[in-house]
Structure 1
Amino acid sequence: MTGTDGSRRKSRAGRPQRPVDPEAGPVQRLAWELRHLREKAGEPSYRSLAKKAHYSASTLAEAAKGDRLPTLEVTLAYVKACGGDMTHWEARWQAASAALVPSEDDRLPAGQSPPCPYPGLAAFGTEDAEMFFGRDDLVKDLLEQIDHTARTALIALFGASGSGKSSLLRAGLLPALPPNVRVLPLTAGAHPLTALAAAVSDATGSAADTLRSRLSGDRQTLEVALRTWLAAQPEGTQAVLVVDQFEEVFTLCTDAAERDAFLTAVADLACTSDERIRTLIAVRADFYSHCSAHPELVAALRQGVQLPVGPPTHQELRDIVVRPAARAGVSVDSDLVATVLAAAANQPGALPLLAHVLRETWDRREGSLLRLADYHASGGMRGAVAQTAERAYGDLPGEQQKAARKIFLRLTALGVGTDDTRRPISRGELDGIAGEAVISDVLNHLADARLIVLDEERVEVAHEALIRAWPRLHRWLTDDRSSLFVHRRLTEAARTWESLERDGGAVYRGAQLAAARSWADDHTGELNQLESSFLDAGTTAEAAERDSTRRRARLLKRLVAGMSVLLLLALLGGGIAVRQRQDAHRQELIALSEQLSLQSRSLLSTDPDLAGLLAVEADHLHPAAESRGAVLSAASARRRTELNTGGPAVYAVAFSPDHSLLASAAGDGTIGLWDPERGTRIASLPGRAERARGVGFSGDGKLLAATGNSGTTGSITVWDARTRRQVASMTEKEMALGMALSPDGRMIAVGVGAHGDIAVRDLSTGSRRLLHGQGGAVRSLTFSHDSKLLVSADGSSDPVAWHLSTGRPFARLPAEHVASVVFGPSEPVLAGAADDGGVHLWDLRSDPPVALPTLPLQGSYGWTVSAPVGDRIAVADENGTVTLWDLRHRQRLQTLLDRGRTETASLALSQDGAMLATAGFNGTIVLHDLRNTPFSGFDAPVNDLKVSPDGALIASAGNDGVVRLWDVRGHQIAALTGHPDRVQAVAFSPDGRLLASVTRNNVVTLWNVRHRRHETKPFPTTGLGASTDIAFDPGGRYLAAATLGPFVWDVRDVASPSPLTPKYSARLVTSLTFSRDGRRLVTSSPGGYINEWDVTGGTLVDRTDTHQGAVQDLALSPDGSLIATAGDSRTVALWDAATHRQTAVLNGHTAPVQVLAFSRDGRLLASAGDDHTIIVWDVISQNRVAELAGHSGRVRGLDFTSDGVLLSGGEDGKIISWSLDLSTARADICARAGRTLTRQEWAAYLPSVPYQPRCGGKRS
């Protein structure tokens, strides 16, 4: 009996846990006590405990292992399931937790500092496991999936960049794995098959070279190698292949064959039936579509488990902040904890920024407390990375700064349809970009600043967060982006040439060589040694080919006898020489045209006038799709001017009341005066401080005041704005950031000291009075329009409103963390931007002031606001996104993406509302022209747009659940609201009376276009998945929506649409359209098929494999003869609609194509997608007509108007109207610029062409 009972007990308990020593520490003591509690409860199995505790068996077992302290929630659930005393055990857990904090005796002696527990931008490593907190649940989930009893072989982690995937794997998962699990870690890199072979070789002892060669051809190699190795290991051994930064397969690997072989190998291993093998991949979420384009990987993902890595919870964030410091014996100020939690809450990519600012705060601390003041001094969450990077860059001398720029550009992989990513490089790639000593000094300096990671062979940025958070780097990457792509292609071509042992067949020739040479001539010093050698080899090869041609011509002459023949050959040779010279000249012009087109595109967002002038010249030199696209893109670009480019940081800007002047306060102490209409500098007023911090005009525009700091001493200077003569000057000790000049020009107020004092100066008498009571150092001040009130804010406590007649506060405005306050020029409305994301509004006409409804959150911070002008206000967030708001309706009017992230430190609206100025730490002042902007007044991503049959209306479908109706000039005439989810697609009925919309959650609405109301109640489809498209048949009888299978309704009775009786089979549908006779419904699928259905019968009558990967859209030509399909393969295919025979494949896109549209005459086809580019094709010749650039996000909607204008809408919230008339576009460019290219510009951009600019106007 005893033996039988013992066997049963072992069976219930499962695998025995390894012994734990209660004397080893508080965690082990708690685990030992939990085990004894379970024994007293009769030693129930963890599976039975799980049913009572509502935690998994593995989580409960983990709590009693003694490896790490379980959470309080898990501990109490364990105790409750075992019948223990909850209060008693909570006290035990608290004692164990407290024991983990070093005692006074354990802490380092005075004068010795503990190592920083925060990693900064770098990821946690396995050696940092004891400092890794806040991700217990995710670690638990991973351990459960890796357990050999789990039924899946693939675990895929998907999360945003900066969500902590690498740290989770290295410091969370790997140290927690049991000894029987062997990990094969790798990052994909530029050569993923080589990395995979090396990882397997390290584990199994197999030869890496042999594995690498076999992996390319034999799909079973990987699994066989692991199974063979496992067979020789002790029973219970597992192998886990861990691929971190899986997206590098798509961003760094340029060899398509190697990429496919790697993906196939990983996917095959992930589908193994061997329970001893697991595959874990960590992928950036924005590369999910890249993964879904590989069929084998899609199959593996379907069978596997996908774990999203989202932002940490509130408690997890608290653990991430507090527990590492506690482990190091340091406390965190409660105000700092609250501020950090508010800053990082619900931010998907905030963890590296958080770790960096905490490390900077740690370095500034005094004693054993991390303080809020040190956090703010570090730049806070939004600015610490930029501040560190700027400091490191600024400490370099000029030559080293140039080298640093070249290094960072090479360390970034340029995204197409995705954000830019890190690009690890070998040190050898830097040879030749600067002197060896210069490169070494710069690398060491940047590594010391923890901006890059450096070893003997490799260099890479510490984290991709640096690319997003440093405005200067972001500007470098966007200023001349097209040119950077030219350089990157050159870099890869040179590497390929080197890998082929410098094969002469791999060098550039012809137009490609000419374009690269032209780029190199314009970018002196950018090439490394290998790239220079590569171009030299191309030049030498081309010269050799010319010499060979000449030698063949001479030989031919000698072989021909007879004077008449010689004469003939001489004439022929002369003709050949002429033609060769003509061809060479033509190739030179083509290369120059292509280069000008690229330069034009790169200037669109910074200098649209110059972009247009260059595009006109490019199209004159060589009319082609690129040059035509450059002209059309420039003609459609929104007006935007950049000032102070490359100058010092700008901390404040202000318009004069008549908006004829713009003043700026710069980091070098100067005050700039600009003409905003012409975009030119008028004057630079020398400041009296090292850094100018604030600037403002009086209400009548006669006075200009500025403040600045030199150390802790502040200066105040006032000028006559017209004569630029200084009229007043004064100083303040310990001056804070806040300053304001009263509208009546009589007073100036500045913050002084760290405790919230305000000095108010009378400019006529020089007298000074002090206001006390703000609380913290004043960061912002503003006067009411009548100069009777003053409001102050410190970024922490509530803003304070003061009566200037008494000098006493009369109200505290309840809103924490407000760092920026501003009155409108003529209204009593006060706006305040809070660090927690809200923009607060108050009406100060009453006492106490009345709080108005706040503006909706637009980011984790509302960094700064402009003065309200009428019913408009501009708000900038920490990402550099500026949003123009309608205060009356609390609606976004327009979103403007400024250069760089964490950039916009100040912004101002002109009092006529026509111009917006933004400025920031990268030194650039941006002027946005807000006058008569078509298709404005919203900023939601556009998912679809359609033009009505009569061409009078345009309907757009938005992510905000609104369908907007526009006239052809881009004026909004109606907003159709009430949709329960984002609107995915819209369609007009053939007679234009009805508009159908469908939402992502499958709700269809029929609208009466004339009366803007529902014709019937919205009705849902019954399919699974999201709806993606909707269409009427040509007769207006039927309406079809796309989801899991098409759904068709008879809508002849509009008041009561009825579904057709036939049931279409459940096939996923991405898009659909009816045949011209209405008898067939044509649909596309993510599997890559065109399906043709009988409408009334619901039967599938034809199915065609496009071989394009997922087909995202299809379009039927107006005459019904052609079907066009858009695929994830980056191609557009044309098909005979009757036979489904493919007639053409159109190549040109660099990312998946999402949307198509035929012009109404059927002569043109437009395609667009994830590369942000629109290509217009000639349907008959199948040539590109133009490539259009203007969107900063994926393009989701296209349609043509009745007069041939192309409309596009995208995820950037923009709708752009493209006139495809070249002559009109050229005329518009010249008229808008009001000038021609100067001789200096001509010499810079067209040095080999005689000066003869196309646009008229004044020449200089």
Structure 2
Amino acid sequence: MGRRESPLDPSAGPVEEFAQTLRNLRAAAGRPGYRELARRAGFSAAALAAAARGEQLPSQAVTLAFAQACGGDRTEWEQRWRLAAAAVTMQEEEEGAGDVTSPYLGLAAYQQADAGWFFGRERLVDDLLRQLAADRLVAVLGSSGSGKSSLLHAGVAARAVGHGLPGLAGRVRAVMLTPGADPMRSFTHAVLQASGRRATPSADAPEPDITEAAQTLERTPHLGDGQADGDLLVVVDQFEEVFTQCAAPDARKRFIDLLVSARRPGSRVRVLLGIRADFFARCAEHRVLAEALREATVLVTPMTAADLRDVIVKPAALRRVTVEPALVATVIAEAAGQPGVLPLVSHALRETWRRRRGKAMTLHAYQAAGGIDGAIARTADHFYAALPAPHQDIARRILLRLIAVGDGRRATHRPLPRADLDGNGHSAETEVVVGRLAAARLVTVDDDSVQLGHESLIDAWPRLQRWVQEDRDGLRIHQQLTDAAKTWHGLGRDPGALYRGARLALAEDWAGTHEPHLTSEERAFLTASIAAQAEEAAVTRRRALRLRHLVLVLTALSVTTTVTTVSAVRAQHTITRQRNAALAQNVAADVLASQNSDRPLAVQLGLAAYRMAPTVQTRNSLLSALTPPRIRHAKEITSIALSLDGRTLATGSGDRTIRLFDLTDHRRPVELARLPTHTDGVFLALSPDGRTLAAGSWRTLGSGNWDRTARLWDITDRRHPAHVVTLPGHTETVDSVAFSPDGRLLATGSGDHTTRLWRIDPQRHPTHLATLTSHADGVYTVAFSPDGRMLATGGNDDTVRVWKINDPAHPVESAVLTDHTDAVESVAFSPDGRLLATGGDDHTTRLWRLDPPRLPARLATLTSHTDGVYHVAFSPDGHTLTTAGDDRTTRLFDITDPARPVELAVFSGHTNAVTSAAFTPDGRTVITGSWDGTSQFIDTDLHRTLTRACDHARPTITRAQWDRYLPHLPYRPPCP
């Protein structure tokens, strides 16, 4: 809306050719603006503009609406669309569009080589680099699926290697590893591999020293840079494996001591640990590590809507492919604030990429792929169903072997050597299935190990969840047997490491029905355990000896526990807070989803989430739930107008009525009168004395013509309004009306690119004074300054113009503001006339200082809206600004310092674009109008709103509802 269309090459393909025919049809119709087409067609201006952009074939519904709005024949354009769709399908088959490498990695983590495709975590990467520059040991804490691995590899490591660390000289060299079952060996292997030397350390190789490792890499020609102050960055991904995979406490301690030694004076090593949040408390078991991480831990929070937009749009843009706005909005709505959702998003986008049409990824393709919740399950089920029956059994066994089932903790991934996947000697068939699993990205494979493509597969694939639940105890027994067998072999088959007693009995019983699943190592361990138990004779002596040992161990543990309790408690509190924050974010999303269907439930869920984690998101969702609709129209509300005394509200709607309400009691607006209109939408203004209503107009229903007038109504008797006069002269729709502060002037802005000034004193004999013609496109908004000496106009030419109207018959253009990059939808002066606020379709609100008026100075740009800003308004004291827009939100900003606005709250109660917003005279309420046909009354005293939340919370939330939304938490209704 407002930007000039780029030229098309119709010979470039069927999409471009079809778009050119749409443009030709619009030109033949007189080039109506896309905003005007939107009013005729019933689709958004953005959708109609995209149809003629030539980036993707529009849907049939959009095409027919576009054609009919321009006077085209429906049958003819339906046939044109079918031919174009067939041509697009043929072109895609010929070009093999699906073969282009996807810019989305699906379940796979981003590596350093993928840094060019990695988006959305720029601020977090900057924070981590600064933290690494200040501390030599830093932990990155996040839930499974939060993108920690990608952040470490494609974000921090890639940036550090390419650009160094902030404020520090010298090149950074990076070593990447996961601990595995033998962390010290993994470290040595990673250093040798990075240096280009023998990548497999010998069994008798000395244990590494972290400083020597740095010196080794510095001496390596292809890594060293000759700078003595360069640092080695050791990135330990999935650090929790030192607790889940490393069975030897001594080996675990040596590895942790090695990493912590990077903090000693003179060290040229920096260590970055990636830790899953629910394992952070385990770090407190190592006192030195807990102390090191006390002030050097960075939490990976869920992505914001803006971050997710980058994740969705920017990789496709690098392939010169666009992402349909509806797809972007849908993915953000489903994923925003959700912990652990990133791999699901990436996989869904990868599958959408495979189904794209031409140069565009569409919402239809995303839905066909199954969306965030269903894409992985659909891919995995399709893969499994395509396997022959014998290979299905092998695939099930492999996948279950790659899952660790702990006591009381959710299932996690479990990397295994490839040799451990096959216990029955069918190595060739196993390799075939592993290869197919890897091709489907359900597992990842390196030289000697296999692991799940991502832990999220466990939760996202119902079939795999069912397999785990069906044999959870058996999986745990097999997992413990595998670990015990490895420990036994690692200790040189020490008899003391064999199973005995109940553990042996459980393992024997399980092996009796799962013997083909045992590896040769596990089979040998179990056989040796059975033989050792049979040979034991001195049971009593050995038992007494074990008891004495147990007493010593317990004594030692009690001393150790005393030392570590404080750190452990603190860590547990941290984990609890993080769990509560994640759960509260999920509940906040449920509040927004349920507030229109069950508002009392939404209020109680919002209150519970806010008390659990009082964040901006939970507070905003609660505030939205506490703002019910007060007025309802049958169709969209296009405009509202509030009298200066706050007693009268006028609402205009697509239901072809203007309604007047008495607002003596805001909680119960009383309808006074209905004014029939000749159009299906109006723009309204009330005179300062509250006696005259002005209405601009949209198109007339039922024909290709539309009304070009403004009309005045006498509402002195609010129950019996009377039409007074019609103001002619405009040649297109009247898109905005405004009264001067003294009520003697009326300004009307029109799609004919002009603004007209009228003297309406007396109102029954209005006089046309002047026509302002500087705008190059439709005028969407007009506003008088408080002293009546200035007029601001904004429109579809992306500009705001300020006029001096000391002599209304001879207005003088004083300034032109050109910072907006799309149509300007609203302008408003502050009560003291020193500030001007402008809102536009470029998703921004801008604040200007008008001192002097001929040289406006931009003070601030507000960018929190994710779609067009349709209305801006100042509070009576000038300290608060409200904005409303196409992203369905109304926002409040503190502008006490207009150069540094602070967002106070976001209200998301409307289900469609918010078109209007107005403060009551006392500034305590903002009244909105929306295309969802409702008007809401927002209390600007946020504290009072929150403290009275329980007034809107009846009936009390039931236990079943509580357990559905707040599982694992005790039933505690917030409003008993």
Do the structures match in fold with TM over 0.5?
no
More helix as a share of residues: 2
More strand as a share of residues: 1
Which is bigger in relative contact order (C-alpha 8 A, separation at least 6)?
2
Query: TM-score, length-normalised on structure 2?
Result: 0.44
Query: TM-score, length-normalised on structure 1?
Result: 0.35
